Amino acid sequence: MTEKVFYQDSYLKTYHSEVVEVVDGGVILAATIFYPQGGGQPGDTGRLTIGGRDYRVVDTRYAEDRARIVHRIDGADLGDIRAGDAVDMEIDWQRRHRLMRMHTSMHLICSLIDAQATGGAVGETESRIDFDLQGQVIDKEQLTAALNQLVEQALPVTIGAITDEELDRNPGLVRTMSVQPPRGQGTVRTITIENTDYQPCGGTHVRNTAEIGELLVTGLKNKGKQNKRISMALVEP
């Protein structure tokens, strides 16, 4: 199982670990700061340095067991890499930080819309989220203003944990992306935005909503009978 260092600290840009296994097209490490695709957030990109050689990480994904994390490396010969080799890693921080800002803004939008989210995708500068609105009407300008108010309030964002049993008793907590958090490890990671949003989430977030910067609701589209797709973007990329 890969240790998820990004779970405790999403701000680490570099880290040191060792190789556990070389798989087809990628490398598995003992611990990583690379976020694997999930919950609507894309996998991280960056660089691994092993034995004095740099390897470009083009994507990060969970292995099929959902426990190990594969750093995907394109077009490089991995034949010299051995289990136990020391690794220096660096993520593409500018990209990741934008994804953190966008991901955190998904929580803000969830707090403003009283409906079940049915899917979503976090992008580098623009994201979308689908809601089962049941006929509720959304006003683009109003929603933009409400989002920016939450950004301006500079609300702290904190990481916590909930037990599997507590979560089973409160299924309404699972609100975004229609993804059920992984159970079976005793606890599930949670994210709290002060006085605004609380839900299980495994993604990477900024520490304070002020870091998101100005947001703009860019689109409202019908997606099927009940579903509305809301798009929003970072004004300062």
Residue numbers at the binding site for Zn ion (CB under 5 A): 191, 201, 203
Mapping DSSP to helix (H, G, I), strand (E, B) and coil, where does residue 53 land? strand
d(CA 175, CA 150): 19
Rounded least distance, CB 163 to Zn ion, Å: 19
Rounded least distance, CB 199 to Zn ion, Å: 7
Rounded least distance, CB 153 to Zn ion, Å: 18
CB-based closest residue to Zn ion = 201
- Closest by CA position to 6, among listed 166, 198, 154, 189: 189
Nearer to Zn ion, 27 or 162 (CB): 162
Nearer to Zn ion, 72 or 107 (CB): 107
CB atoms within 10 A of CB 236: 9
Rounded least distance, CB 205 to Zn ion, Å: 6
Nearer to Zn ion, 17 or 204 (CB): 204
Cβ contact 89:15 at 8 Å: yes
- Closest by CA position to 207, among listed 11, 5, 18, 2: 11
Rounded least distance, CB 41 to Zn ion, Å: 8
Q: Taking the alpha carbons of 212, 5, 185, 120 in that order, is the dihedral positive or negative?
A: positive
Rounded least distance, CB 65 to Zn ion, Å: 23
Nearer to Zn ion, 36 or 203 (CB): 203
Half-sphere exposure of 14 (CA within 13 A, CB side): 3
Nearer to Zn ion, 26 or 97 (CB): 97
DSSP string, 106-149: HHHHHHH--SEEEEEE--SSEEEEEEE-TT----HHHHHHHHHH
- Closest by CA position to 178, among listed 200, 206, 147, 204: 200
Nearer to Zn ion, 89 or 157 (CB): 157
